[in-house]
Chains A and B, each alone.
Chain A
Amino acid sequence: MNIPLATFITLIYIGITIYLSWLGFKKTRSAADYLIAGRKVHPFLLAMGYGATFISTSAIVGFGGVAGFMGMGLLWLTFLNIFVGIFIAFVVFGKRTRAIGRHLGAHTFPELLGKRFQSKWIQIIAGGIIFLTMPLYASAVMIGVVRFVEQTFHLNYDLALFIFAFLVMGYVFFGGLKGVLYADAFQGSIMLLGMLILLVFTYYRLGGVIDAHAGLTALKTRLPQKFIDMGHTGWTSMPVIGSQLWWTMVSTIVLGVGIGVLAQPQLAVRFMMVNSGREINRAMGVGGFFILMTVGVTFVTGALSNLYFVDHFDKIAMQMAVDPVTLKPNIDTIIPIFLNSSMPQWFTYVFLLILLAAGMSTISSLFHAIGTSFGRDVFQQFFKEATHKKTIIITKIGIFIGFVLTTILAYKLPGSIIAIATALFFGLCAATFLPAYSGAIFSRYISRNTAYLSMGCGFFAWLFCVLFLHVKESSALGLCNLLFSKPSLCGDSILAFVDPIVISLPVSAVVAVAGTLVDRAKKKVS
């Protein structure tokens, strides 16, 4: 790669992003402007902002790499991302969130819950959970960008990480949500165009749609025995039902992220930024197409990389991704290796911009959500007399703390972590917030106590699963080993591979439904 040319292109891209952020800064005149862009966002900005925030480097590099390992079964996640993440989220949740959020004067997701249940503690607890756990997801997104920048520019990982994090923090800090939105629209457009090129090139390189699929199907003879033992049946078919790989794919990847998207604070707040349900209708078509072209293309490309690697290097993707130091495959490197080896030189520059756009658009929204959780949802609830100007200052301090926490985590997290950390955060949000959030916007009977119980049971059920049951996290965290001398209480059972969301979300939902029925009976009696 021509480093001076890549640097020049990157600097132009960063210059445009900073200019758009400055435009946002110029149009920010109140706390409402800084927090929810004044509730007057154009449908195109809503669609591109929602899509670009939803789809990050985590989806492209992390989950694309997972598709290189697991295959096209991940298209079930693409389907859920479009049907649940766009259609259900916009039509069923979005319109009510907008209407109720506006009615209550809510500016953040925790504030919507807090005002609906008339409880400042619900707002503080929800804000605190977001403030403390969102950096995990933000760091996963950041690793996705920095790994590619590191390989492209031959930069030191630590230096690349600091430059990238500082840059994003800077433009969120000054531009507020308007700056984030303008930059999102620009970044989303780059992603859409780049992924369209990637789709055409990948199928063209491999002989067309049907030939590429058939070639990949025939490749199942190259599956290592270790993969077959896990339940792998090939890259164009689902794993053996009930196998370790099937549970990981269906519960962690497909359900964890596919359902978890409904309760993402940084996405739910987007619905509160528009003036009416009409804007939500108009945004949905662009949003659905955006997800198909980003997630769908990534998963197909990730799976098809196996065919390219076998044809050119006589290795499958997981063998190509073996780290020379640890001698273990790093899933997060599959997509960068595939693109660097298979695509024309000029596309590497395009993909660099795609990743920068995907990473910056998501992290900027996450930093904004972390900052508002700290400033609006926690600090301002303790100091009610705080002025709007002071709220913005405290929010900016929250953004800075989020930047520090995220950067530290991105230094510390191990390889192959991107998809796992993302699914963890999405699962936590679904288990803790989704039933209470659904009750808040759909039921007139659900009470404050029911919301407390549902959120508490969901959060602690999720935490218990992470610490003691789901072996991927419990073995890494080590508490189960310390107390019970084994990595998971499930031992060698298949339950050790069932994602926490499969247990914790039903617990939280049952508590919410049962509590609401009791609340309704009480109200009818009184």
Chain B
Amino acid sequence: MLGLGDSWVFLAYVLCILSTILCVTYSFVNWNKDIKEDISWLEEEV
């Protein structure tokens, strides 16, 4: 396990890398998306 002392620290080490990959992947997949719908209720409430 990369020379680490227990599986919890190994898991944290791996999750750090995986969550970075998640951020980068999400960024590229949605590069031109998400430029109306969800907050129309604000018109009534505020």
Residues of chain A at the chain B interface (Cβ within 8 Å) = 71-73, 75-76, 78-79, 82-83, 86-87, 91, 95-96, 99-100, 103-104, 115-116, 118, 209-217, 220, 233-238, 276-278, 280-289, 291-292, 296, 444
Contacts and interface: CB of A to CB of B under 8 A. Distances in A.
B18 to A, nearest CB: 9
Contacts of A286: 27
Nearest to A289: B20
Given A72-B9, A236-B9, A282-B27, 20 more contacts: A79-B12, A82-B20, A83-B19, A86-B19, A86-B23, A91-B26, A100-B39, A213-B4, A216-B3, A217-B5, A237-B5, A238-B8, A238-B9, A277-B35, A281-B30, A284-B23, A285-B25, A288-B22, A288-B27, A444-B42
Give the most central of B3, B17, B23, B39: most A CB within 10 Å: B23
Nearest to B13: A75
Interface residues of B, number: 34
Given A116-B46, A213-B3, A284-B26, A82 B19 contact: yes
Nearest to B29: A281
Contacts of B25: 285
A526 to B, nearest CB: 13
Given A79-B12, A116-B46, A236-B9, A72 B4 contact: yes
A458 B13 CA distance: 33
Helix, strand, loop or mixed for chain B's interface?
helix
A466 to B, nearest CB: 28
Contacts of B28: 285
A170 to B, nearest CB: 35
Given A96-B38, A277-B35, A214 B23 contact: no
Interface in B28-43: 28, 30-35, 38-39, 41-42
Contacts of A78: 12, 16
B34 A82 contact: no
A76 B35 contact: no
B32 to A, nearest CB: 7
B26 A217 contact: no
A281 B19 contact: no
B30 A444 contact: no
25 contacts: A72-B13, A75-B9, A75-B13, A78-B12, A78-B16, A79-B12, A79-B15, A79-B16, A79-B19, A83-B22, A96-B39, A115-B46, A210-B2, A210-B3, A217-B3, A236-B3, A236-B5, A236-B6, A237-B5, A276-B35, A280-B34, A281-B26, A287-B23, A288-B27, A292-B20
A281 B27 contact: yes
Given A278-B33, A280-B34, A281-B30, A87 B12 contact: no
A366 B34 CA distance: 30
Helix, strand, loop or mixed for chain A's interface?
helix
Contacts of A278: 30-35
Give the most central of B9, B25, B31: most A CB within 10 Å: B9
A209 B4 CA distance: 10
A286 B29 CA distance: 14
B27 A285 contact: yes
Nearest to A214: B3
Contact of B42 (A104, A214, A276, A296): A104
Nearest to A99: B39
Contact of B3 (A212, A284, A291): A212
A241 to B, nearest CB: 9
A51 to B, nearest CB: 11
A138 to B, nearest CB: 28
Contact of B12 (A75, A95, A215): A75
Contacts of A211: 3
A306 to B, nearest CB: 12
Nearest to A286: B27
A82 B23 contact: yes
B31 A281 contact: yes
Contacts of A103: 39, 42
Give the most central of A87, A280, A285: most B CB within 10 Å: A285
Contact of B22 (A87, A99, A281): A87
Contacts of B9: 71-73, 75, 236-238
A158 B39 CA distance: 51
Contacts of A284: 23, 26-27
A126 B33 CA distance: 34
Give the most central of A75, A115, A217, A286: most B CB within 10 Å: A75
